[in-house]
Amino acid sequence: MSPVSGIERVRLDKWLWAARFFKTRALAKQAIEGGKVHYNGARAKVSRPVEVGALLQIRQGFDEKTVEVLALSDQRRGAPEAALLYRETEESLRRRELAAEQRRALRGAAPVSDGRPTKKQRRRIQAFKGSFEE
């Protein structure tokens, strides 16, 4: 069965849920109300009707996706069918891959603390700090 089944109007929160961007409609509603979803470049309301050809900017965690609506559906189906509802833009794919690559590169750069310093480490820190005060 195709994703479009004679549907003319679908709410934005329902479409995002059906396209599997969010696990529940409540989470889709929170994201829309929180400004994490833009419809054709502007903030949208939850009940906004989705139109074929519209551009959606969806921010999820570290990623921001720009997708074009290809079809409408108000039923949540399997991932392969949900993927037919939209197409991510080439620019969006490039930006996400670049951001992921940068995050991977920075992963090992930040020093990780092992907790509170030991007595010996604390003395060395105080000595180091004291050498600048004189």
CA distances from 82 to 17, 35, 57, 71 (A): 10, 23, 17, 10
Q: Does residue 63 fall inside a structural domain? A: yes
Q: Does residue 113 fall inside a structural domain? A: no
- pTM for the model stands at 0.75
Q: Does residue 124 fall inside a structural domain? A: no
- Structurally, the chain folds into a number of domains equal to 1
Q: Does residue 108 fall inside a structural domain? A: no
Per-residue pLDDT of the chain (134 residues; tens, 9 = 90+): 445 556 789 999 999 999 999 999 999 999 999 999 999 999 999 999 999 999 999 999 889 999 999 999 999 999 999 999 999 999 999 999 999 999 888 876 666 677 898 999 999 999 998 877 75
Q: Are 11 and 47 in contact (CB under 8 A)?
A: yes
CA distance 15 to 70: 11
Q: Does residue 82 fall inside a structural domain? A: yes
Q: Does residue 116 fall inside a structural domain? A: no
Q: What is the pLDDT of residues 91-124, one digit of tens each?
A: 999 999 999 999 888 876 666 677 898 999 999 9
Domain of residue 67, residue span: 1-93
Q: Are 82 and 15 in contact (CB under 8 A)?
A: no
Helix (H, G, I), strand (E, B) or coil at 79: helix
